[in-house]
Every structure is written in C-alpha cells, then in structure tokens.
Amino acid sequence: MTAISRRNMLAMGAAGAAAAVIPAAHAYDPCKPPQKWDVTTDVLVIGSGGAGLAAAVSAAEGGAKAIVMEKLRFIGGNTLLCSGYYNCVDPGRQKKQGIEDSVDLHVKQTLNAGDNRANPELVKVLCGKGLETLEWLEGMGMQFDPKVIQVYGALYRRSHLATEAKGAGYIKVLKKKADELGVEFLMGTKMKSLVREGAQSGRVLGVEAVNADGKTIFVRAKKGVVLAAGGFAANPQLRSLYDPRLLTLCTTNNVACSTGEVMLAANAAGAMLIGCDYIQCNPGPAPGHQNGVRQSLHLDVSKYIYVDQRGHRFVAEDARRDVLRDAVLALPEKYGFVIVDADGFAANPAAAQKDAKRGLESGDSFTADTLEELAKKLKMDPAELKKTVDEFNECVEKKSDPKFGRKPDMLTSKIQKGPFWAAFSSMAVHHTMGGVRIDTSARVIDLAGNVIPGLYAAGEITGGIHGSNRVGGNAVLDIHVFGRIAGTNAAKEA
C-alpha cells in the first residue's frame, strides 16, 4: 500500500508529490459495511461547530433523528472561539447607518475578493440566504449589536457582531435548540472512515469511528452523513503541502480541531477536493509569543492603523486579507503593530479589550498616555510614530489616503485621544478556503462530477465558497447558511 493513493494525488494536484509528510491516505480508506451497526440514526453530523449544529438542528426540524459526533470532549469547535462577526445585507440595520447595500453587491465583492475562483452559484446562495439565516438564529435567541461595522478583511460595512463574547452565543443557542429537538451527541468520538456500499461507489451508509473508550464503532445514517469537521489550518504538514510558506507559522485555530482528517476520509471515499492551496492568515502573536494572548484590536477597520517596527504605515488597512498577509510577511521582522487610540479601543468588542489588557502582562500588547511613550515601549522612534499618526489624521480630515489608498468610509476616526494602545500582529494560519466540493444543495461531489448519494458537507471543510481569499465575516455566514441547507436536505432523503 502506498503512502497516498492515486485518487488522492489526482485531487490534490502536483503538490501531492510531497505527500509523505501527511498521514497515510489509506488510513482513511472507506470501509466495507460492517456485519453489525453499533448505533443507527437518520442523519449523522460529524463535528459540533456552527456548521454541524446548524445541520443537526435543521435535520431535526425536518423531522429526522439526528446525532452529532464530536471528537473532543466539548462542543463548539473553532466557532466557539471565533470573533463572532457575521456578514449579510440587512436593510433594517444598515439603512439607519446610511449604508446602501444589496445581495448583488455582496456577491460581486465576494467573487472579486476571491479572484473569481469561487463557484458563483454557491456564492449567490451564501449571500442570498444571509439575512434569512441571521433571523433564523435570532429566532432561537441569538443577539447581535444594532450597528454593523466592517471587520478586518470584510471590504464593506455589513459585519454583525454577536452580543455574547466571541462565538459562544451561536453555540449556546444552537445547542439549546438541538437539546429541545432531541438531537443526541456522541462526544469524544472521532470519525475515521466513511462506509460506502462500494469502495468508491454507491450510497454512503455511515461511518467508522473510535469512541471515547478507544473502541471502534460503526454508526449507520439511514438518510445521510453531514461532514462539518472544519478546516485544516492546524495541520502544518497538510497545509504546507499546498502552501510551503505556512509550515512554521502558528495558527489562530484550536489545534485539536482543524486537523483535516475528515476531509481526507471524504477524499478517500471519492469526494473531490478543490481550492486547497487557498489558505488565509490573520493577525497572530508575535514571534516567540506563540503561547501568549492573541490580540484583536484590528477588528474594526475604521479604528486602527498598522505600523512597522520603524513606526511607518505600510499597507491600506482596509485591504483584502491576502494583501494584508503578504504586506506583513514582507516586512523584515514579519510582524507589525496595530495602533488604536482610546476611542478605537472602546469600539472593540469587550472580549478584544479584555485580551488587550491580559496582553499587557504577557508582552503582546502595550498602552501609554501619549504616542511618544507608546513608541518607546515598542522600541520605535517616537518622532516617526508621531509623524505617521499626524499624516494619517490628515488623511481622515481630507478623506483621502494618497499613499496607500485606504477608502474614504474607512477614514472616519482620527487617532488622537490617549491612552493609546498597540498590539503585536504577526501572521498566523487562520482559515482554509479549500476542501470538499459541494453543490448548492450541500451534496458532496465526486471526482467525476457526480453527487455522492447520502453525503453532505458544510462549513470550513468545504471548498468553492470563498475562492482564493475569504472576505472577513463570510465564514460564520457560510457555516450557518450551508449547515442549515445540508441538514434540511439530508432530512428529506428517503
């Protein structure tokens, strides 16, 4: 048995030649139907993040018996620790802020931001179902701030911030609903392989997994399996197979979650993988501070500037995330500093403010009453930082940033009121845009372009929704929109 099968090589492209560094693909080969199933349900969902819970709730709402299988001892995945921003066109909120928007514009911006590598049909569904899915969550008790902002890399003011810190609100309301609907949870149970009628043919019948006692179990899903196991940002070997620059970077993800084995199992069962070399980075800890407190003072784009170790701006802060990543990685130190003033600090979510205060002790953030003092703490020339901030404030006054091209609607807040804050910002692997290919019904597509019967996927495990670069705030939208579609459609199967 070779370390990686030919079908995986095909799906992964030429980069697959370096595959010796990833777990042997045959470890995920689909297994034959067992003589006896240990557990039987209608819909089996793999993963308990936002996509998985949205799928399980929707399947149960459709009258199906649903089980969620989660490898960790707690639910929520990366969704639990996300910053909580959800993009969608929302005239009720946006009009009050004088923001003109439309689903067509959201679609256009999403496609452009991903260099037109996303599937336009998936993007139309993503953006078109944004508000209705937000209202579905609100109907379960989810709360959002009344105002929308433009979150880091979002490119437009349509990012809704969850009222409860980070992603906890999404997970809480979905779990409560899942409990009410009788959804069951198999915790500490790791999916290993898919079970199909034939090795790479026929219907998906269920999965093989290892439970919390280390015992192999087989779970039968009469209507369908929904793969919602997240991305592979926390698998350095797998991500560097696609983008070698990313081997040694740290990640913003929960390292136990985003390991990619379910995506590989789907591939081994015949699913097509697409766009796996599109991998996003986001501000992370400074070099040598991997175990420090991750800083998020960059969230509201209108409030911050990025400076380098010399105290100079180096990029339009409202640019695409891949542009920001490349600009930071091109700096000699490979990190920059996010600078906000007292108002910018106060505009951040409470969780980001708390992390900044904790960061003062771990050395990840800094504060001072004046810019000069702040510069000294950052080992930067005070005169240079002062000059940079003065120049930026002039850009705000003139609503024009001739040097870097930051847009006028992101030139609204001067940096002028102490205390001032700075946070280290290197680049950490954040999101994997590629994965299992799906259609607009969230059905998984095989290498020949056909639907794999009984197999659905949603959330970060999928590819084709974001293209080469994900718009900030579009992932939390994606997981709930497609999680809901996957669960609803799986429940409808005979």
Please count the other Cβ atoms lying within 10 Å of the Cβ belonging to residue 139. Answer: 10
Among 198, 74, 125, smallest CA distance to 480 is for 125
Q: Please select the residue that binds ligand FAD; options are 7, 129, 160, 190, rule is CB under 6 A.
A: 190
Beta carbon of residue 383, minimum distance to ligand FAD (angstroms, whole number): 35
| Helix or strand run (H / E) with residue 485 | helix 474-492
CA-based torsion, 38, 222, 69, 433: positive or negative? positive
**Residue 107 corresponds to which tokens in the numbers above?**
């679609």
**Which DSSP string corresponds to 118-183?**
S-HHHHHHHHHTHHHHHHHHHHTT--EEEEEE-BTT--SS-EEEESSSTTHHHHHHHHHHHHHTT-
Question: Near ligand FAD by CB under 6 A, which window of 95-103, 269-277, 350-358, 475-483?
Answer: 475-483
Question: Near ligand FAD by CB under 6 A, which window of 176-184, 284-292, 408-416, 471-479?
Answer: 471-479
8-state DSSP, 341: -
Beta carbon of residue 418, minimum distance to ligand FAD (angstroms, whole number): 28
Pairing of strands 273-274, 216-227: unpaired
User: Active site residue: 313, 321, 325, 406, which one?
Assistant: 321
Report 384-423 residues binding ligand FAD (CB under 6 A): none
Q: Please select the residue that binds ligand FAD; options are 7, 239, 406, 431, rule is CB under 6 A.
A: 431
Residue nearest to ligand FAD (CB): 49
Q: Does 445 bind ligand FAD (CB under 6 A)?
A: no
Only one residue has tokens 């001067």, namely 414
Of 209 and 389, which CB lies nearer to ligand FAD in the complex structure?
A: 209
Q: Does 101 bind ligand FAD (CB under 6 A)?
A: no
- Enumerate residues 6+ apart whose C-beta is below 8 A from 170: 50, 53, 79, 84, 137, 142, 162, 476, 480
Q: Please select the residue that binds ligand FAD; options are 52, 224, 344, 454, rule is CB under 6 A.
A: 52
Of 11 and 207, which CB lies nearer to ligand FAD in the complex structure?
A: 207
Binding mask 200-229 for ligand FAD (x = CB under 6 A): ----------------------------xx
Measured between alpha carbons, how far is 172 from 309 in angstroms, rounded to an integer?
41
Q: Does 46 bind ligand FAD (CB under 6 A)?
A: yes
Report 248-277 residues binding ligand FAD (CB under 6 A): 252-253, 257-258, 261-262
- Enumerate residues 6+ apart whose C-beta is below 8 A from 77: 47, 48, 49, 50, 52, 230, 254, 257
Of 81 and 183, which CB lies nearer to ligand FAD in the complex structure?
A: 81
Length of the chain counted residue by residue: 494
Only one residue has tokens 């030919």, namely 6
Q: Does 459 bind ligand FAD (CB under 6 A)?
A: yes
Q: Does 82 bind ligand FAD (CB under 6 A)?
A: yes
Q: Please select the residue that binds ligand FAD; options are 148, 279, 445, 475, rule is CB under 6 A.
A: 475
Among 199, 228, 201, 245, smallest CA distance to 67 is for 228
Of 396 and 410, which CB lies nearer to ligand FAD in the complex structure?
A: 410
Pseudo-torsion of CA 358, 236, 153, 391, nearest 10°? Answer: 60
Question: Near ligand FAD by CB under 6 A, which window of 44-52, 88-96, 336-344, 436-444?
Answer: 44-52
Active site residue 321: yes
Q: Does 169 bind ligand FAD (CB under 6 A)?
A: no
Report 344-383 residues binding ligand FAD (CB under 6 A): none
Q: Does 71 bind ligand FAD (CB under 6 A)?
A: yes
Q: Does 79 bind ligand FAD (CB under 6 A)?
A: yes
Q: Does 110 bind ligand FAD (CB under 6 A)?
A: no
Measured between alpha carbons, how far is 138 from 25 in angstroms, rounded to an integer?
41
- Enumerate residues 6+ apart whose C-beta is below 8 A from 304: 297, 298, 317, 338, 339, 340, 344
Alpha helix (H) residue ranges in 229-381: 236-242, 261-268, 321-329, 342-347, 350-362, 371-377
8-state DSSP, 203: E
Of 16 and 459, which CB lies nearer to ligand FAD in the complex structure?
A: 459
Beta carbon of residue 71, minimum distance to ligand FAD (angstroms, whole number): 4
Q: Does 84 bind ligand FAD (CB under 6 A)?
A: yes
How far from 22 is each of 13, 15, 59, 227, 265, CA to CA, in Å?
15, 12, 34, 20, 13
Q: Please select the residue that binds ligand FAD; options are 8, 11, 44, 85, rule is CB under 6 A.
A: 85
Beta carbon of residue 150, minimum distance to ligand FAD (angstroms, whole number): 12
The site for ligand FAD (CB under 6 A) is made up of 46-52, 69-72, 77-79, 81-85, 190-191, 228-230, 252-253, 257-258, 261-262, 431, 459-460, 473-476, 479
Residues designated catalytic: 321
